[in-house]
Homo-oligomer: A and B are copies of this chain.
Amino acid sequence: MEVFVPFAADRPKSRLAPVFSLEERRAFARAMLADVLGAIEASGNEAHVLSTASIEVDARTSVDERPLSEAVNARLADRFDSPTERQPVTSDPVAVVMADLALATPASLDRLFETSADVALVPGRGGGTNAFCSHHPDFRVDYHGASYLDHREIVADIGASVDVVDSFRLSTDIDEPSDLVEVYCHGDGRARAYLDDAGVELETTDGRVTVSRSRQ
């Protein structure tokens, strides 16, 4: 299966600015991307990066400067729209997985890729959509706001069956300093190694676990 991985090469992870400089955020975003691509390949599927700018990465890559929803919907249309007739629901699905799912593993992705529903959704924290897998020609995305609820509505509107994949690993997108605690506790790839190299450590204050840096 072809698995698209949208990647914002130009403005990487601005909400991590309290912990990382711009250069560091760029490197950390690339480490997470490499982890996601590695997990997709290890699951036996073909990753295809949709990057907002040219990048060097060990996977098929297309540059697409359009906003996220537009870029993804263009790929869905390419795949499912025939010039002459509407395609039926197919056994050959398309998946989209976000580039900041640093905890993704082949096993967690398999639960998404092996869905028997027309559309499988992975919610992200805060109402987002971290990944989906669609067999249905009419499914399109709208990533603005609480996109998970919108995507549920879109699936219902087109009369498709839905599966919601219940995975902590896939629901954890890494946006904010507090999310780095998850990479520290549960990651074992390049993103986790990046935290070690940067001197990021856990810190417990008032019973809450956060991160701090022992060196800059």
Contact = CB atoms under 8 A, between A and B. Distances in A.
Contacts of A207: 144-145
Q: For the side of the interface on A, what is the size category?
A: 20 to 34
Given A127-B181, A209-B146, A108 B166 contact: yes
Contacts of A125: 172, 181-182
A94 B107 CA distance: 27
A19 B171 CA distance: 25
Interface string A194-213: 00000000101001110000
Interface in A148-181: 148-149, 166-172, 178, 181
Contact of A167 (B145, B166, B181, B202): B166
Interface in A16-75: none
A209 B126 contact: yes
Contact of A168 (B168, B182, B186, B202): B168
Interface of A: 107-108, 123, 125-128, 144-146, 148-149, 166-172, 178, 181-182, 184-186, 202, 204, 207-209
